[in-house]
Structure 1
Amino acid sequence: MEVERVQAIASLSKTLHTIPSEYIRSEKEQPAITTFHGVVLEVPVIDLSEPNQDNIVKQISEASRDWGIFQVVNHGITNELISKLQQVGKEFFELPQEEREKIAKTDDSIEGYGTKLQKEVEGKKGWVDHLFHKIWPPSAINYQFWPKNPPSYRETNEEYAETLRGVSKKMFDYLSLGLGLEAGELEKAAGGDDIVYLMKINYYPPCPRPDLALGVVAHTDMSILTILVPNEVQGLQVFRDDFWYDVKYIPNALIIHIGDQAEILSNGKYKSVFHRTTVNKEQTRMSWPVFLEPPPEHVVGPIPKLVNKGNEENSGKGEEETSKYKTKSYKDYVYCKLNKLPQ
């Protein structure tokens, strides 16, 4: 059965000034009603070239506790490489549909080109197509799901994966230090060298009714961290103080999301960010998140030291810090989340 792609629906909808009913969100979700208009949220921006490492740790820790999202500049990935990553991704989505379908998802894999991602609430769909594939570690990569076209796609993504690992190592170190741990402890607890880097390219074609549709519905990421490159078209929104706010676009910055696993590992000290994506009437929005995930069998729970530390600090004060989250394998966590089951 041929899958209906949003890109194809967008082409048909252009002249109609309407969209199919399954893309129209309920009033409590519609961007026109639920967005706080006229304000662009300036989430914390952190300069990684700051010479004082303690300052960086403090800023990242505060942003992760209060916001669950921040942007980093001077991160060490060149503007040229980010442009190349964006270019090859854009070229893939501009190929004829039959060419894109050559790497379509199969039923037993999240990787590949696709549209539907998880159980759809009330049958409503997101105005987005996507491509998933793992970019690290080498043992996890399946090149069957990497585009052959454009020809430079593989080389660009391999170069990006290599440089991104340097950034993620810094993030893990700073986040560990912000919890009062040793630099490598958070990364080790999350899976160490086996942490999987899952690339997703989101493609949001122009939408005749951006006031009614969403690209990606409100959610938190299942990952430990998400490191995201957007294009210049506004679309990322964060929920704060009971409203949805646009997040300010900063050229060549990386957007860092705290994911569910970092919240669990930190025993709730870091907050997984609640976010969604809007779409644009005239322009195509794209984004390149990389989800840093524990390997499927890896068991994740609050880092014991953080729970114990709370007990030692607060003993006798009636404030003993207990474990706030269940410990379970990452694959079980994913199964529950995708199927809307209680954790």
Structure 2
Amino acid sequence: MATISEQATRVESLASSGIQSIPKEYIRLQEELTGIGNDIFEEEKQQEGPQVPTIDLKGINFANPEVRKKCREELINAAKSWGVMHLVNHGIPDDLIARVKKVGEAFFNQPIQEKEKYANDQASGQIQGYGSKLANSASGQLEWVDYFFHLIYPEDKRDLSIWPKTPSDYIGATSEYARQLRGLATTVLSVLSLGLGLEEGRLEKEVGGLEELLLQMKINYYPKCPQPELALGVEAHTDVSSLTFILHNMVPGLQLFYEGKWVTAKCVPDSILMHIGDTIEILSNGKYKSILHRGVVNKEKVRISWAVFCEPPREKIILQPISEVVTEAEPALFHPRTFGQHIEHKLFRKAQDDLLSKKKS
């Protein structure tokens, strides 16, 4: 593991130092700050305008065909119109989710010196572990977040040596959550397959199946920020994954770019937020949407989120629209590439965009 001196400054350290203004490298470009208000808590309460859909999965495998059909259609429609949704009655026990949140919070509540024992070393390619975003763009700007990142499923691909030993329930709670979340991913992929007129297991097969689909967890820790109107916890992006599942500590901060405006997602109790990622958008030839989103921060409360990215293998599978969803009227919208090539393509595009923004400013 890397030493503290080799790491970027921890955002938690900055936030707790008593600064009244944030360092310039955390100040985002003006164009990135459009739609960021002064009070995310008030924005989250607003009832006006579009709302992220909430999908009740209770009937997804119900014996009654009408109930089952209605539930599945709601999920499919949300994937087509928004690409993001709150899932309730998802089948993962509340007490297990509470354990996952408890151990994640407990890890971040430790002194920074303890967390540094798990520090990653991005320069050498060791991306798993405790870290902060390094300046890897032409603009040189940073995000107001620290994180812990690691692969959690399949079990035979995990590296438990970098998992936190404290709190003691971290490995047990996270392992069981990963196992159950993998089952939920299969259920969702099955319904999305049917929504494209394909057999149930098709999308699961296209993203790697039980053996190859990787679940990567990133616990994001967003400290209080003295100038939240100038910063971003996570800059605007779409997820490269097939699906992303998110828990949070009921502090608002997620914004979605929907119909030309930034919409603040409400905090829905006992829900798991799910994003459709680029991988499913590509396979569905754009029928399912990978929505642009970002994380904002606030002065009053620490926000923590647990994002699990379901990613296909980097090189083994060619990502391209499934042949059955491509027609003369709806030709392929995406060029064939591996998942790894897709990531590189996005990084290249971002670097070009950053250079352009820097020249304008």
TM-score, normalising length: structure 2: 0.87
Inter-CA distance 122–32: structure 2 relative to 1 (3 Å threshold): farther
- Provide the rounded CA distance (Å) in 1 between the counterparts of 2:85 and 2:132: 28
Q: Does 1:131 align with 2:148?
A: yes
Deviation of the 1:34 alpha carbon: 12
Counterpart residue number, 2:77: 62
Q: Deviations over 1:74-109 (max 9, x none)?
A: 001111111110110011111121221112112213
Q: Does 1:159 align with 2:176?
A: yes
Inter-CA distance 261–117: structure 2 relative to 1 (3 Å threshold): farther
Counterpart residue number, 1:212: 230
Q: Amino acid of the residue matched to residue 340 of structure 2?
A: K
Counterpart residue number, 2:46: 39
Counterpart residue number, 1:98: 113
Q: Amino acid of the residue matched to residue 116 of structure 2?
A: E
Alignment of 1:111-122 (within 5 A): 111-116=128-133, 119-122=136-139
Q: Deviations over 1:90-147 (max 9, x none)?
A: 1111112122111211221321111116733511111001111111112321112211
- Is the 1:28–1:34 contact (alpha carbons within 8 Å) kept by the matching residues of 2? no
- Provide the rounded CA distance (Å) in 1 between the counterparts of 2:163 and 2:241: 21
- Is the 1:129–1:203 contact (alpha carbons within 8 Å) kept by the matching residues of 2? yes
Stretches of 4+ aligned residues off by more than 4 angstroms = 33-38
Counterpart residue number, 2:356: none
- Is the 2:38–2:228 contact (alpha carbons within 8 Å) kept by the matching residues of 1? no
Task: Give the number of equivalent residue pairs.
Answer: 330
More off after superposition, 137-146 vs 194-203: 137-146
Q: Does 1:17 align with 2:20?
A: yes
Alignment of 1:71-86 (within 5 A): 71-86=86-101
Q: Secondary structure at the match of 2:310?
A: strand
- Provide the rounded CA distance (Å) in 1 between the counterparts of 2:20 and 2:239: 32
Counterpart residue number, 2:339: 330
Inter-CA distance 152–33: structure 2 relative to 1 (3 Å threshold): closer
TM-score, normalising length: structure 1: 0.91
- Is the 1:131–1:201 contact (alpha carbons within 8 Å) kept by the matching residues of 2? yes
From 173, 182, 189, give the equivalent of 1:172: 189
Q: Secondary structure at the match of 1:228?
A: strand
- Provide the rounded CA distance (Å) in 1 between the counterparts of 2:220 and 2:156: 25
Counterpart residue number, 1:8: 13
- Provide the rounded CA distance (Å) in 2 between the counterparts of 1:111 and 1:185: 30
Inter-CA distance 204–29: structure 2 relative to 1 (3 Å threshold): same
- Provide the rounded CA distance (Å) in 2 between the counterparts of 1:232 and 1:215: 16
- Provide the rounded CA distance (Å) in 2 between the counterparts of 1:34 and 1:185: 44
Deviation of the 1:33 alpha carbon: 8.3
More off after superposition, 61-70 vs 330-339: 330-339
- Provide the rounded CA distance (Å) in 2 between the counterparts of 1:303 and 1:224: 14
Counterpart residue number, 2:319: 300
Q: Deviations over 1:288-319 (max 9, x none)?
A: 01000001212211111211xx34xxxxxxx2
Deviation of the 1:335 alpha carbon: 2.4
Residue segments in structure 1 that go unaligned for 5+ positions in a row: 312-318
Q: What is the aligned-residue identity percentage? A: 43
- Is the 1:72–1:256 contact (alpha carbons within 8 Å) kept by the matching residues of 2? yes
- Provide the rounded CA distance (Å) in 2 between the counterparts of 1:57 and 1:212: 40
Deviation of the 1:55 alpha carbon: 1.3
Q: Secondary structure at the match of 1:211?
A: helix
Q: Secondary structure at the match of 1:90?
A: helix
Alignment of 1:279-318 (within 5 A): 279-297=297-315, 298-307=317-326, 310-311=327-328
- Provide the rounded CA distance (Å) in 2 between the counterparts of 1:139 and 1:325: 33
Counterpart residue number, 1:315: none
Q: Deviations over 1:12-62 (max 9, x none)?
A: 1x3x32111111112222223899957355211111112422112211111
Q: Amino acid of the residue matched to residue 49 of structure 1?
A: K
Alignment of 1:182-331 (within 5 A): 182-193=199-210, 194-297=212-315, 298-307=317-326, 310-311=327-328, 319=329, 321-331=330-340
- Provide the rounded CA distance (Å) in 2 between the counterparts of 1:117 and 1:272: 25
- Is the 2:234–2:294 contact (alpha carbons within 8 Å) kept by the matching residues of 1? yes
